[in-house]
């Protein structure tokens, strides 16, 4: 009963703060309560109706595991046709190249065979390239929208902490979060993504033309990418160390399932993400208790939607690559396999940043 009353008091405080703090955001409805304002436009449809006005019990009821499961299925169902379409295109083109390959093999002159192989490869490479651009723009748009949201939610949380009397820790925490957000954003936008793009081009060129001279560069670039990933994961672990305030959650069956799935699909950082997940769930629990529920759900959504889209595209690309192998187009098989692994790196970047921001939100909420 006491806990419930505290919760009510905290909710009232939050609403009071929201009414007092002016937010300069591009919301269409100024009449709605301020919580709705921070929701990015494209995510509004995923949240239940009337998210601006809720009672604590409704919140705890509606944002449970089945909500997330349904949400996940819905996101996949919406993203799947788009991904499937672009790869149906690739498949059609590949069939043509396969027919070319069959005829090519009946031609006895070796030189002619090589030239025809080149033609098929160049065509497929151009088609694949025009598709990969879409995936990268998803990933980059995600990072900027996530940092925009973080820059909005941090003053809210800081104001909340100030209202409960912790002025200095509010200042410190918001300073730390702002720095971390801008640091991560600049690392991802200026270092990680250009490096991924560059090494993707290198791998493409080497696998397309079978040039062995520059083949040393692509693995080196891959190594550099994994070093930067390692560095970011190190920072993540440092942040985790400071999360001793957040109680670890219980290992429920659902969370084990999610951890396993995450570890399978995301390279490099699967281990770190799994570690972080137990902390996150504890973090989420804390957020729930401290009324930052909507913010947590939004962060989850912002991270989950592009992640699911990218992983779907990756899966379809690997499917097409397997088809290429079956049709006997070994060069195209290699090409698409390389591009798929780079999609995996992009997904890993999205996952790291999502985990990082979720942790920051939970840290702010737990201190409040």
Partner 1 sequence: MSILQICGFALLGVLVVTVLKSVRPEYATVTGVITGMLLLVFTMTPLASVLTSVTELAEDTGFSAYSSVILKSMGIGILGQTTADVCRDSGVGTLASKVEFAAKVMILLLCVPILQTLLGLIEGFLK
Interface with partner 1 (CB under 8 A), residue from 111, 168, 213, 238? 111
Q: In the range 134-193, which residues lie near partner 1 by CB under 8 A?
A: 136
Answer yes or no whether residue 214 interacts with partner 1 by CB under 8 A. no
Judged by CB under 8 A, the number of residues near partner 1 is: 40
Answer yes or no whether residue 126 interacts with partner 1 by CB under 8 A. yes
Output 53 or 130, the one with its CB closest to partner 1.
130
Among the residue ranges 86-94, 178-186, 231-239, 314-322, the one whose residues contact partner 1 (CB under 8 A): 86-94
> Cβ 341 to partner 1, closest distance in Å?
17
Q: What is the 3-state secondary structure of the chain?
A: CHHHHHHHHHHHHHHHHHHHCCCCCCCCCCCCCHHHHCCCHHHHHHCCCCCCCCCHHHHHHHCCHHHHHHHHHHHHHHHHHHHHHHHHHHHHHHHHHHHHHHHHHHCCCHHHHHHHHHHHHHHHHHHHHHHHHHHHHHHHHHHHHHHHHHHHHHHHHHHHHHHCCCHHHHHHHHHHHHHHHHHHHHHHHHHHHHHHHHHHHHHHHHHHHCCCCCCCHHHHHHHHHHHHHHHHHHHHHHHHHHHHHCCCCCCCHHHHHHHHHHHHHCCCCHHHHHHHHHHHHHHHHHHHHCCCHHHHHHHHHHHHHHHHHHHHHHHHHHHHHHHHHHCCCHHHHHHHHHHHHHHHHHHHHHHHHHHHHHHHHHHHHHHC
Answer yes or no whether residue 330 interacts with partner 1 by CB under 8 A. no
> Cβ 273 to partner 1, closest distance in Å?
28
Interface with partner 1 (CB under 8 A), residue from 11, 84, 118, 176? 118
Answer yes or no whether residue 95 interacts with partner 1 by CB under 8 A. yes
Output 104 or 176, the one with its CB closest to partner 1.
104
Binding site for partner 1 (CB under 8 A): 88-90, 92-93, 95-97, 99-100, 103-104, 106-109, 111-112, 115-116, 118-120, 122-127, 129-130, 132-133, 136, 194, 197-198, 200-201, 204
């Amino acid at each position: 009963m006491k806990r419930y009353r505290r919760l009510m008091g905290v909710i009232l405080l939050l609403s009071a703060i929201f009414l007092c703090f002016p937010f300069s955001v591009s919301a269409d409805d100024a009449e709605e309560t301020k919580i709705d304002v921070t929701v990015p436009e494209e995510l509004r449809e995923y949240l239940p109706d009337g998210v601006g006005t809720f009672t604590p019990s409704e919140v705890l009821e509606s944002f449970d595991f089945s909500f997330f499961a349904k949400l996940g299925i819905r996101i996949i169902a919406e993203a799947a046709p788009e991904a499937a379409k672009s790869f149906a295109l690739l498949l059609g083109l590949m069939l043509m190249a396969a027919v070319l390959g069959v005829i090519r093999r009946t031609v006895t002159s070796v030189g002619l065979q090589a030239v025809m192989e080149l033609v098929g490869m160049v065509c497929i490479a151009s088609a694949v390239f025009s598709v990969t651009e879409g995936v990268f723009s998803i990933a980059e748009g995600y990072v900027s929208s996530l940092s925009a949201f973080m820059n909005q939610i941090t003053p809210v949380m800081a104001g909340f902490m100030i209202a409960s009397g912790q002025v200095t820790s509010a200042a410190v925490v918001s300073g730390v979060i702002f720095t971390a957000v801008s640091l991560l954003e600049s690392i991802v936008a200026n270092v990680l993504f250009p490096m991924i793009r560059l090494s993707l081009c290198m791998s493409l060129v080497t696998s397309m033309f079978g040039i062995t001279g520059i083949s040393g560069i692509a693995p080196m670039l891959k190594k550099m990418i994994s070093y930067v990933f390692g560095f970011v994961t190190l920072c993540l672990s440092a942040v985790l160390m400071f999360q001793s305030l957040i109680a670890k959650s219980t290992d429920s069956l659902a969370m084990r399932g999610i951890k396993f799935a995450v570890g399978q699909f995301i390279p490099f950082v699967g281990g770190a993400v799994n570690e972080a997940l137990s902390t996150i769930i504890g973090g989420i629990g804390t957020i729930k208790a401290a009324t930052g529920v909507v913010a947590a759900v939004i962060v989850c959504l912002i991270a989950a939607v592009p992640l699911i889209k990218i992983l779907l595209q990756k899966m379809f690309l690997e499917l097409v690559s397997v088809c290429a192998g079956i049709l006997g187009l070994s060069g195209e098989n290699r090409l698409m396999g390389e591009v798929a692994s780079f999609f995996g790196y992009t997904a890993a970047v999205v996952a790291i940043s999502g985990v990082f921001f979720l942790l920051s939100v939970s840290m702010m909420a737990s201190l409040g």
